[in-house]
Chain A
Amino acid sequence: MRTTVKNKTEYDAKPPTHKKIYWDGKRKLSYAMIAPAFIILLFLAIGPMFFMFVNAFRTWNLAVPAPPRFSGFKNFLGLFMDARFGNAFLNTVILMVAGIIIQSILGLGIALLLKKPFKLRSVVMALILIPVLIAPVVAGLNWKLIFNETFGPLNYMLGILGMKQPLWVSSNRFWGLLSILIVDTWQWTPFVALVLLAGLEAIPGQVYEAADVDGAKPFMVFLRVTLPLLRPMFVLIILLRTIFIFKIFDPVMILTQGGPGSATETLSLLTYYTGLKYMNIGYAMAMGVLQIIFMIILANIFLKFTTSSKLSK
């Protein structure tokens, strides 16, 4: 298994000569080939970005019959004192942290389980990947049926085990967030597991042989050899899961719609409501600007990480 190990120098210092030879005098063609994609993305991303940065500094509420007017940092100041925004931010962070920890642990367990080749391994791998590609709407629906407090199989099972049977999605912030977390974990743990499995398989056998010669106990080998060598994979998973959970929308929309009240709102959902339900465009765009800044930082880290680190060989 190979991983992208692109030298940083390949980009900034000097482009490798072969590329130069290959395209010598044909730069125009390379620009022509990328132009359509670039123009469309310019329209779809830069246009909205411009719209956003302009309106983030304006008071523009379609629910109020007043024309938009420049208001400086008023929207941003408002955001910092807005308890609902704080709640949505906190929910997103909670889902992110809890999701990453739980999915990494479960994923590592599954990866270790599947590490040793066996006959049906590829079948098992294909089957557990189904949640990853299934439509989030369908996943949300599935779980809405499963979470049903009276007729759902989950509470029935809990009942048999003599445990408390919560109301799940509709009860309160804790159970609502937990439901969302469960659905996200169900959808993404298989992916995390297979990334970690790829990492495990990339660890050369000699490393284990050496540890074996030294008489290390299996658990110590796992702790001192396997885990440290998996570190780059964990960093990758943390980055990717942060990016995806940061924009979590579909499961929240299907399961709780942010309710009860605004208890389980996430940043994406609150921005959606603010902009398109309450029509408070300026305020929503200020939220957008904050999210963009966060995302640009993350994209930078991701790019640095994948281009400079030796993920594994």
Chain B
Amino acid sequence: MKSDEIRIGEKTTTRMILKIIRWILIILVLLVFLFPVYWIISGSFKTLGEFYTRPPTMIPKQLMFDNFKNALSARGLKGLIDSAIISVTVTFITMIISVPASYSIARYSPGGQQISFFILSILFLPPVIGVIPLFFIFKTLKLLDTYSVFFLSYMFFNLPFCTWIMKGFFEDIPFELEQAAMVDGHSRFTVFFKIAIPLARAGIAVASLFAFIFSWNELMFASIFARHHVQTLPLVLQDYIGSTGVAWGELSALATIAAIPGILLAIFMQRYIVRGLTFGAVKG
């Protein structure tokens, strides 16, 4: 009797200790993955002097917004506006083209498996391989350094990705539902717009958010296709690093602005990120 009680007591203590260890580990993990994010955000409030201290300044002395003001007064604002224009437009065009395409593949797979394979393999290509020939093609077409070159070239990765992801969502809709509607005399277009699209709206939302963030984050294409007329945020950031006597405060402020969409999407799209980035292989 007594020994039993002791054993139960022991068990609860071990369980408590395990729980504490687990929480310490979880906090450690969070610290490791969030510290760099904190570092760039806190950097955007630091004065230049605070970047050159030892030990490093963990918490900026005052909450000043001069860095943001300076960052957005120079090329930063142009970068921000262009990034927004390009990302929004690319997302919009991509969705208009890829929604019907993915629906068609999900419901009939025209062209058979070859089409699926073609789309997926473009996604796997190192972009640098597409970018060098495209540079010469766009140069011949006199498209370099225009917005159109971004709208077009960003579909290189967005179109296959969105088509592939939404295909999975459309496949999840029971086809009987659509069939029943057609038996009731609705046309195929009505079925597509009134039944399929509303039922796949989660997939469409996820795909468009991915398209947005991919365009927003993209660096390689931008660094090759843009000159002076068009400047995206990643480009401006890269140029900052290259320049001598880096204004770290401004740079951090601009990087913080560039990081905001990613942070927001990570928080709100959590459930779908794994599905998206495994190309639909794992449905959370």
Q: Which of B47-55, B67-75, B199-207 has 4 or more CB atoms under 8 Å from chain A?
A: B47-55
Query: How many pairs, one residue from A and one from B, have CB atoms within 8 Å of each other in the complex?
Result: 315
Tell me the interface secondary structure of chain A in the complex: helix
Interface residues of A in 131-154 (CB under 8 A from B): 131-139, 141-146, 150-153
Number of interface residues of B (CB under 8 A): 104
* Also in contact, A27 and B108, with CB within 8 A (given A129-B270, A151-B51, A191-B277): yes
The answer to whether B216 and A34 have CB atoms under 8 Å apart is no
* Also in contact, A295 and B217, with CB within 8 A (given A37-B97, A126-B266): no
* Also in contact, A186 and B33, with CB within 8 A (given A249-B127, A299-B117): yes
Any A CB within 8 A of the CB of B92? no
- Interface residue from B117, B131, B248, B279 paired with A145 (Cβ < 8 Å): B248
The answer to whether B127 and A247 have CB atoms under 8 Å apart is yes
Q: Could you pull out 26 A-B pairs where Cβ atoms are within 8 angstroms?
A: A4-B283, A11-B112, A18-B179, A22-B182, A30-B110, A31-B104, A41-B160, A47-B133, A47-B134, A48-B129, A126-B270, A132-B266, A133-B266, A134-B263, A135-B258, A137-B233, A141-B241, A191-B277, A198-B274, A243-B124, A267-B126, A268-B126, A295-B124, A295-B126, A302-B124, A303-B116
The answer to whether B100 and A34 have CB atoms under 8 Å apart is yes
* Also in contact, A113 and B25, with CB within 8 A (given A1-B284, A190-B33, A291-B126): yes
User: CB-CB < 8 A to B195: which residues of A?
Assistant: none
The answer to whether A124 and B26 have CB atoms under 8 Å apart is yes
Interface set of B (CB-CB < 8 Å, partner A): 22, 25-26, 29-30, 32-37, 39-40, 43, 51-56, 58, 97-98, 100-101, 103-105, 107-113, 115-122, 124-137, 152-153, 155-156, 159-160, 163, 168, 175, 178-179, 182, 188, 213, 216-217, 219-220, 224, 233-234, 237-238, 241, 248, 251-252, 255, 258-259, 261-263, 265-267, 270, 273-274, 277-284
The answer to whether B281 and A236 have CB atoms under 8 Å apart is yes
